[in-house]
Chain A
Amino acid sequence: MCSSHNQLVPKVATIKKIAEETSSGDVKTFYVEFDCPKERAEFNNMPGQCAMISVLGVGESMISITSSPTRPDPLEFSIKKMGKVTSALHDFAEGQKIGIRGPYGNNFPADEWIGKDLVFIGGGIGLAPLRSVINYCIDKKESYGSITIIYGSRSPSDLCFKEEIFENWPSVEGVKVHLAVDKIEEGEQWDKSIGFVPQYLEQISPSPDNAIAITCGPPIMIKYVLESLEKLKFKDEQIITTLELKMQCGVGYCGRCNIGDKYVCIDGPVFSYKQIKEMPQEF
């Protein structure tokens, strides 16, 4: 079955590899390949877009695609154990089959940022959607100005994508990575900053001139990051973030993820702060 155009029927895919991101094991990255090459070819994802991942018999969950289309295969999904579906997925082993449909939603407007400085601000698993666009921009680095990545988590072991944040990204010219953790336990090794992401952002104080700030993380972090960015004189349209609400169809019918007349699944998940301010504050 390689040809269904039915939006609600997922395509079969195989988990090629599973990597633990955090030492507590609550975040894993799944490397996934479609079983049918034609279906892969039709899956034209852009950075920031999501896909519905099916654990057959359990359900579906909307997950952001963390790999960049500039590095197409395998598709990567970094998933935190939260609800029914993600918990079931965490019990999966390499080689097992899942269902995928998508890609859904809008994407980060990276092509509108050409020539600008980019400031990425992430917290915890919130780096997963940012990672796709960070790698996208790094792969097209000549089109962009400086790239600043500010990333924090609760503790050093909760930082995701360690190879990239410690090694790959800092080694690219014009890319700066600033890391912070909320606190460290006794005996933990940590030579970077300690503190919360919003304060750390103010400390680093990136310039708003010809810049775009993109943030993603826990809702409470986003709230304070937005305040900090305002303090740093970023304008609303210079700030980009993502929203997340409960979704079951992903294509704008099931009626769960609306904020006003916008549906997060098709009109989002990427919104500018300007757009968010114009919405009813109900998310």
Chain B
Amino acid sequence: MDKLLRSNVSRLLKKLSEHAEIYAPTMEDGVCVLSKLVNNYDDWTLDYVRTTNSVKDIFFPQNEEIMRYKNANNDLNIEPPKPFKERVAFGVRPCDAAAMLLLDNVFLEGEFYDSYYKERREKGALITIACEKPDQYCFCTSFHSSPGATEGSDIVLYPADDYFLVVAVTDKGKKLIKANAEIFENATEKSGIVENYKSMKTPIGNNCSPGELNEKLKNEFDNPYWKKIARRCLGCGNCTFVCPTCHCFAVCDVARGCDGKRTRTWDSCKFQDFFLMAGDHNPRPTQVERTRQRFMHKLNYFKEKYDKYQCVGCGRCVEKCPVGVHIADVITHMKEEL
């Protein structure tokens, strides 16, 4: 096993930046965001439970250009974007890394794959840092994960005194370590550090593990509980935007004379115009249907389709919801009721 001294992290990031864009947690006006480092490789921080934005941003950004077009004199030319750069996300949490596997299901499986996402994923590496101190919003253990889980990561760093124990999870991770071998050191001490992280419990614990809830939810489309929680919902898109697994988007054209571009932008099932059709028909006209759609998608539809729940217990939506609409609450309520 290797180890990486904390004092060597900046050196590693700088070295990696020779071939890749580097993203790492940084403090910005008191807010910890996963942001792109440019020449400021010392700015990474460990002072966060979860970054405000999730790693989804790096592989499926809030905004991206799908293509550009020129249509002068009826000669229409459409151009897809230029190839993306290699990218390394450093300081990802295990829950976020696990969320990437769910996005993989959506964007890479089935008849079609998403070219943009696929290219970024192929050119991307995730260096995860295990969680030393999960907070009261964390419930990854409810989804068969843990503060020390490796699923979805290429490398996991386990914090110890003044260093990280390094576990290479994928071939990509192994290659990355090999290519930068001079920055890593041999870890000789034998200890249960990794196991400790893996067996660590999160405060919410695993009592809100959904189990076979998806089966039961099939018949709960008209459960009055949806109405109850939707009454509280303000209808903002907060929960869906901070979620590392939500992937709904809108496609927008921006025209400037004969030129223009088409972009895609995150969109939210919580917004009133999200399902609105031309002709003003809206199959989910009120917050009741939209709230149900969000939870049913995560706890039933997604599971039916990919055999996984669409939640990793990162706790962002529950931390950020201004009115306490809480997915763990939904799970525990439904488990008790059904």
**Chain A residues near B (Cβ < 8 Å):** 1, 4-12, 54, 56-61, 82-86, 95-97, 99, 219, 244-246, 248-249, 251-256, 258, 260-261, 266, 280-283
B251 and A1: CB pair below 8 A? no
Residues of B within 8 A of A60 (CB): 251
Please, how many angstroms separate the alpha-carbon atoms of A251 and B112 in the complex? 7
Residues of A within 8 A of B281 (CB): 219
Please, how many angstroms separate the alpha-carbon atoms of A253 and B74 in the complex? 31
A261 and B305: CB pair below 8 A? yes
B78 and A12: CB pair below 8 A? yes
Please, how many angstroms separate the alpha-carbon atoms of A216 and B74 in the complex? 36
A8 and B107: CB pair below 8 A? no
A156, chain B: closest CB distance, angstroms: 23
B252 and A83: CB pair below 8 A? no
User: How large, as a class, is the contact surface on chain B?
Assistant: 35 or more
Contacting A58 at CB < 8 Å: which of B77, B249, B255, B274?
B255
Chain A interface: which of B14-22, B63-71, B140-148, B317-325?
B63-71
Question: Is B42 part of the binding interface, using a Cβ–Cβ cutoff of 8 Å?
Answer: no
A56 and B253: CB pair below 8 A? yes
Please name 22 pairs of A and B residues whose Cβ atoms are closer than 8 Å in the assembled complex, sorted by A: A4-B80, A8-B262, A8-B264, A56-B262, A57-B255, A57-B260, A58-B255, A59-B251, A60-B251, A61-B278, A83-B277, A99-B76, A249-B251, A251-B114, A253-B114, A254-B249, A261-B301, A266-B110, A266-B111, A280-B221, A282-B221, A282-B283
A8-B66, A253-B249 given; A245·B255 CB < 8 A: no
Please, how many angstroms separate the alpha-carbon atoms of A99 and B281 in the complex? 26
Residue in A closest to B278 when the chains form the complex, CB atoms: A83
Please, how many angstroms separate the alpha-carbon atoms of A9 and B114 in the complex? 11
**Chain B residues near A (Cβ < 8 Å):** 66-67, 69, 71, 74-80, 106-107, 110-116, 221, 247-255, 260, 262, 264, 267, 269, 274-279, 281, 283-284, 289, 293, 296-297, 300-302, 304-305
Pick from A9, A59, A61, A83 the residue with the most CB of B within 10 Å. A9
A56-B76, A57-B253, A255-B247 given; A283·B221 CB < 8 A: no
Residues of B within 8 A of A5 (CB): 115
How many A-B contacts are there with CB distance less than 8 Å? 131
Residue in A closest to B118 when the chains form the complex, CB atoms: A6
A1-B79, A255-B269, A266-B111 given; A248·B250 CB < 8 A: yes
Please, how many angstroms separate the alpha-carbon atoms of A247 and B75 in the complex? 28
Pick from B78, B116, B274 the residue with the most CB of A within 10 Å. B78
B294, chain A: closest CB distance, angstroms: 10
A252-B110, A256-B275, A282-B284 given; A56·B115 CB < 8 A: no
Residues of B within 8 A of A58 (CB): 253, 255
Residue in B closest to A245 when the chains form the complex, CB atoms: B283
Please, how many angstroms separate the alpha-carbon atoms of A182 and B67 in the complex? 45
Residues of B within 8 A of A283 (CB): 283
B67 and A8: CB pair below 8 A? yes
B76 and A97: CB pair below 8 A? yes
B71 and A254: CB pair below 8 A? no
A56 and B106: CB pair below 8 A? no
B107 and A253: CB pair below 8 A? yes
B253 and A9: CB pair below 8 A? no
A246 and B74: CB pair below 8 A? no
Residues of A within 8 A of B277 (CB): 83, 244-246
Please, how many angstroms separate the alpha-carbon atoms of A96 and B75 in the complex? 9
Residue in B closest to A85 when the chains form the complex, CB atoms: B278
Residue in B closest to A281 when the chains form the complex, CB atoms: B221
Please, how many angstroms separate the alpha-carbon atoms of A246 and B248 in the complex? 13
B44, chain A: closest CB distance, angstroms: 32
A251, chain B: closest CB distance, angstroms: 4
Residues of B within 8 A of A281 (CB): 221
Residues of B within 8 A of A56 (CB): 69, 71, 76, 78, 253, 255, 260, 262
Residues of A within 8 A of B297 (CB): 255, 258
